[in-house]
Amino acid sequence: MSTAFTSIHAGPVPTVPARQSVAGRTMLATLALALVFGLAARVVELRPLELVRDIGNVGVFLKGYLNPSFGNVGEYAWQCVVTMCIALWGTVLALVVSVPLGLLGARNLSPHPLVYFAARRVMDVLRAVNEFVFALMFVTAVGLGPFAGMLALGIHTGGILGKLLSETIESVDPGQVEGVAAVGAGRLHVIAFGVVPQVLPNFLSYVLLRFESDIRSASVIGMVGGGGIGFYLWDTIRSFRDGEAATVILLIVAMVMCIDVVSARVRRAAI
């Protein structure tokens, strides 16, 4: 088909500058990735055929769970409420921990590279140490129970939210920040007017996401004495009371679903 543009599209191709070849680099990267994934498959003993062959055993295991027994359902439901309360206050503690760390750990806000470095490393430690380890640690101070679990969750989640906050702050539009700083505003004013409005919607979304995942963490942290439904999950499974374990699992699933619905509402209302 000939159009008015044929005069431009057809004809000799102009001299085009040579393109830096990336083929070699791409090939090398592909090989390296294939090697890493191959080794990782060996390490995790990836044997899909065995899964297919012995999938029936899973059915045998699940059979015991098909008859949930609701004898202690009241106690379990109450423990679900305890779990939610742990997650709720754990998230509050996480906010208290993450906001200062996130501000200091954002390259574009940090007062000094050393402060930036220190804040980042503290957040690394909080994230790297599992909430279960924190729970064991706090149990020695405040004894068994939900308070220890809440402290553990809050500290660990604080590290995660702090990292997410500082990454979000680093990706703000610098023009809007400059517009506030240009009037001679102080550092906190620049943050309040130039950074916070840009960061808030994303951060709120992260906080809700972490709250949902804290609910799941809180429902197992009881295994190490952190209170909540986790203790009963662990106890019923370990003593082969399959029917009761099934009840606990059902309750946890229902709770996670409820929280998901609620947090979706909050997100829509707030963002």
Can you give the binding site for another protein, defined by CB under 8 A?
2-5, 7-9, 11, 13-17, 19-20
Quote the CA–CA distance of 127 and 139 in Å, as a whole number: 19
Please state the closest distance from residue 23 (CB atom) to another protein, in A.
Answer: 13
Please state the closest distance from residue 128 (CB atom) to another protein, in A.
Answer: 32
Amino acid at 233: L
Whose Cβ is closer to another protein: residue 179's or residue 243's? Answer: 179
Whose Cβ is closer to another protein: residue 9's or residue 268's? Answer: 9
Please state the closest distance from residue 11 (CB atom) to another protein, in A.
Answer: 7
Whose Cβ is closer to another protein: residue 3's or residue 140's? Answer: 3
Whose Cβ is closer to another protein: residue 9's or residue 42's? Answer: 9
Please state the closest distance from residue 37 (CB atom) to another protein, in A.
Answer: 21
CA distances from 109 to 30, 174, 195 (A): 37, 11, 9
Q: Which structure tokens are listed for 49?
A: 């055929």
Whose Cβ is closer to another protein: residue 17's or residue 184's? Answer: 17
| 224 touches 139 (CB < 8 A) | yes
Give 130-133's long-range contacts (Cβ < 8 A, gap of 24+).
Answer: 130/156, 131/155, 131/156, 131/157, 131/217, 131/221, 132/221, 132/223, 132/224
| 214 touches 87 (CB < 8 A) | yes
Quote the CA–CA distance of 89 and 152 in Å, as a whole number: 11
The neighbour count for residue 233, using CB atoms within 10 Å, is 22
Please state the closest distance from residue 13 (CB atom) to another protein, in A.
Answer: 5
Whose Cβ is closer to another protein: residue 8's or residue 141's? Answer: 8
Please state the closest distance from residue 24 (CB atom) to another protein, in A.
Answer: 16
